[in-house]
């Protein structure tokens, strides 16, 4: 018998209007949004439902917006009898996964997500950088390119998203040079990404240290189901592992390709992407066509599976 896996999206899945259909239809959604409005120093409902887009794209707003919607959808699925047997989340999405596994409470996770977004945005302003997706080169080739381009500046792999889609991160000069080298070595595409910082790189060191101190103040429990960690791609089963994984995650690559492979290897055959858009579902189906996968980011999609 196969297992059900929930996967939770990270930054870049946000859009203006996200969650408004859930807010209108479900009292549970209204309760979560009202709680978030009180915990945050801005109106998450206004930011999520009305934008504007250029403000919602700011890391400190994006992260809570995606996290809260993911948790609402996750809870509604559970209410309808659909619960995961294993979970993973892409970068920010790891916090949603930890709430689903009951290692973190909603309130604790939102507090971390709030300061994480603020720390990362500040680090991006202090150490300007960029990110880019490289399409059509293997991991080893891109790691070699990063090593070459980082001799004079910072550039490293940020996300192993799929076998043929890898994101790099670093200084503007470092990433630009790596993109040029990738083109020379046969990359199909190099795409600069719109982000407010060089996430998952050493340019986030200040954010990482600030987050470490904050994480020490938060109670973390052993998860009730396996959580496949970004930094190792392996399942975490103990609270002390979680704290270290969340700390490292800020400057280390997201090993998403291997996480998905490990989940499938451990029996997952039905994946639910829980949160806005369908970025993770598209990646999964491109590389594992026989796996059942569905993205649930709207009330309509929720009704289709329940």
Sign of the dihedral through C-alpha 37, 41, 43, 44: negative
The one catalytic residue among 74, 200, 201, 233? 200
Query: Which residues, listed in sequence order, are joined to residue 159 by a DSSP beta bridge?
Result: 167, 254
Active-site residue, 252 included: no
201 is catalytic: no
Which among 91, 201, 202, 259 is annotated as catalytic?
Answer: 91
Q: Select from 165, 154, 190, 188 the least CA-distant residue to 256.
A: 165
Q: Which two tokens stand for residue 142?
A: 């891109």
- Which residues are identified as catalytic? 91, 200
């Amino acid at each position: 018998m196969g297992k059900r896996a929930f996967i939770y999206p990270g930054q870049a899945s946000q859009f203006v209007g996200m969650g408004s259909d859930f807010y209108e239809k479900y009292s549970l959604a209204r309760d979560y949004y009202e709680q978030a409005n009180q915990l945050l120093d801005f109106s998450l409902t206004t930011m999520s439902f009305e934008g504007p887009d250029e403000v919602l794209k700011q890391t400190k707003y994006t992260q809570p917006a995606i996290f809260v919607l993911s948790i609402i959808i996750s809870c509604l699925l559970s209410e309808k009898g659909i619960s995961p047997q294993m979970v993973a989340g892409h970068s920010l999405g790891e916090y949603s996964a930890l709430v689903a596994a009951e290692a973190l409470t909603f309130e604790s996770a939102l507090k971390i997500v709030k300061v994480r977004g603020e720390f990362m945005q500040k680090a991006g302003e202090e150490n300007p950088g960029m990110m880019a997706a490289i399409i059509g080169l293997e991991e080893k080739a891109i790691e070699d390119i990063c090593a070459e381009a980082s001799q004079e500046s910072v550039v490293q792999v940020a996300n192993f998203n799929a076998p043929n889609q890898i994101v790099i991160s670093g200084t503007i000069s470092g990433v630009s040079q790596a993109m040029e080298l990738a083109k020379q070595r046969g990359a199909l595409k190099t795409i600069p990404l719109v982000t407010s910082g060089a996430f998952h790189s050493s340019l986030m060191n200040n954010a990482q240290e600030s987050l470490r101190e904050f994480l020490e103040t938060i109670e973390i429990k052993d998860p009730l189901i396996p959580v496949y960690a970004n930094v190792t791609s392996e399942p975490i089963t103990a609270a002390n592992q979680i704290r270290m994984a969340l700390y490292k995650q800020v400057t280390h690559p997201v090993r998403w390709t291997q996480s998905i492979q490990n989940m499938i290897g451990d029996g997952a055959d039905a994946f639910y992407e829980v949160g806005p858009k369908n970025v993770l579902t598209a990646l999964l189906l491109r590389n594992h066509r026989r796996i059942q996968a569905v993205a649930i980011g709207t009330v309509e999609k929720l009704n289709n599976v329940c």
